[in-house]
Structure 1
Amino acid sequence: MHGTDEREQLLDRLEELQARLTRLHHKDQSALLAAMHLTVQQLLVLHHLQLDGPLSAHTLATRLGVGANTVTGLVDRLQAKGLVLRRPDEHDRRVRRIALSEEGGALMDRLMDASRERMRVLFSRLDTSTLRKLGEVLEAMVRVATTIAQEEGRPTEGVGGVGRP
């Protein structure tokens, strides 16, 4: 029983540390996000398109947990800003696919680059021994996350790719 208690305490501690790190990271990015003049929902649309490539409005609505009318409004505003494109589906011309435009992809790349740079600054301040340990831990986490994704039937290849036209 003692091992289980310790494990639960460790999990709680790691959850809190991860939350603190996330809060600090998001505070660093708040200026960039404010300059983008996007709502959280608009940013989520761009995020899904970046991760998954072009999506139908129906699929996008399902992923966001909103209705078709909400997605239409979000996409209309993003299209007016030149961040997304609507295209006919290759297999079903009745379906319109929503994709990042070149400008939308570049915007998401800038956001990801800023995030990577913040992490690089953080990592650069750690000593070599800690970096080695962290590398081992992150590799183990990627292995477990990949296994979980496979068990859930989610794709593991090309994760993080940009679905631009």
Structure 2
Amino acid sequence: MTATRHVDTAQLMELLSVSLAAYYGDFTVAAASEDLTASQGRTLNVLRRGPASMSALATTLTCDASNMTGIVGRLEKRGLVRREPSPSDRRVKNVVLTAEGERVVDVIRGKMHHTLAGLDRLSPQERATLYALLERVFTSQLAAA
């Protein structure tokens, strides 16, 4: 029988911090290879979950609404997103990922070699467990995103 290792909250927070820094470093390099800033890449990644209003994007990405307007404008010029009226409130514009935007997100994710290699070291059962644990920890943030 394997002894359970005691890990306190501070240790978990430190490991999450290191893990996220590695993930975002890998993501930033992959996004840059597609001539996107990290913020532009993150916007596309968020939109992969579905359309979002400009204000929801700004909240999710923790940036100023005016900055979000510039990010979306540059993505729109490249044909990666489009703006369309919200079905529930025609005054609100939703940002929608285009087919080309979906392709670029797939390319970025495919180029995240360090992250993919780390995840590939896990068995399917370990990946499912990690997913369930992260989902449990971040349920409220995932629902809002």
TM-score by length of 1: 0.64
Q: Which has the higher contact order (CA 8 A, sep 6+)?
A: 1
Matches for 1:37-76 after TM superposition, within 5 Å: 37-50=35-48, 52-76=49-73
Matching of residues 148-163 of structure 1 within 5 Å: 148-150=137-139, 152=140, 154-155=142-143
User: 1:163 is matched with which residue?
Assistant: none
Residues 81 and 101 in structure 2, CA contact (< 8 A), matched pair in contact too: yes
Q: List gaps (5 residues or longer) in structure 2.
A: none
Residue 146 of structure 1 pairs with residue 135 of structure 2: yes
User: Equivalents in 1 of 2:138, 2:27: separation in Å?
Assistant: 30
Distance, in Å, in 1 between the alignment partners of 2:126 and 2:64 is 40
2:58 counterpart letter in structure 1: A
- Residues 42-62 of structure 1: per-residue CA shift (max 9 Å, x gap): 111111111x31000011111
CA shift at 1:36, angstroms? 1.2
1:20 to 1:109, Cα distance in 2 relative to 1, 3 A: closer
Alignment partner, residue 8 of structure 1? 7
Q: Which residue of 1 aligns with 2:88?
A: 91
- 1:8 partner SS: coil
User: 1:83 Cα deviation (Å)?
Assistant: 0.8
Which secondary structure state, in structure 2, belongs to the residue aligned with residue 36 of structure 1? coil
List runs of 5+ in structure 1 lacking aligned partners.
160-165
2:61 maps to a residue whose letter is: L
How far apart are residue 147 of structure 1 and its match? 3.0
Q: Counterpart of 1:41 in structure 2: which amino acid?
A: S
- Contact persistence 2:54–2:68 (CA under 8 A): yes
CA-to-aligned-CA distance 1:88-143 (integer Å, 9 cap, x gap):
111211111001111111100122233489736984xx6xxxx6xx4443332223
Q: CA deviation at 1:41?
A: 1.2
Contact conserved, 1:25 with 1:118, CA < 8 A, in 2?
no
3-state SS in 2 of match to 1:70:
helix
In the superposition, relative to structure 1, how do residues 26 and 7 fare at CA in structure 2: closer, same or farther (>3 Å)? same
Equivalent residues of 2:53, 2:95 under 8 A apart: yes
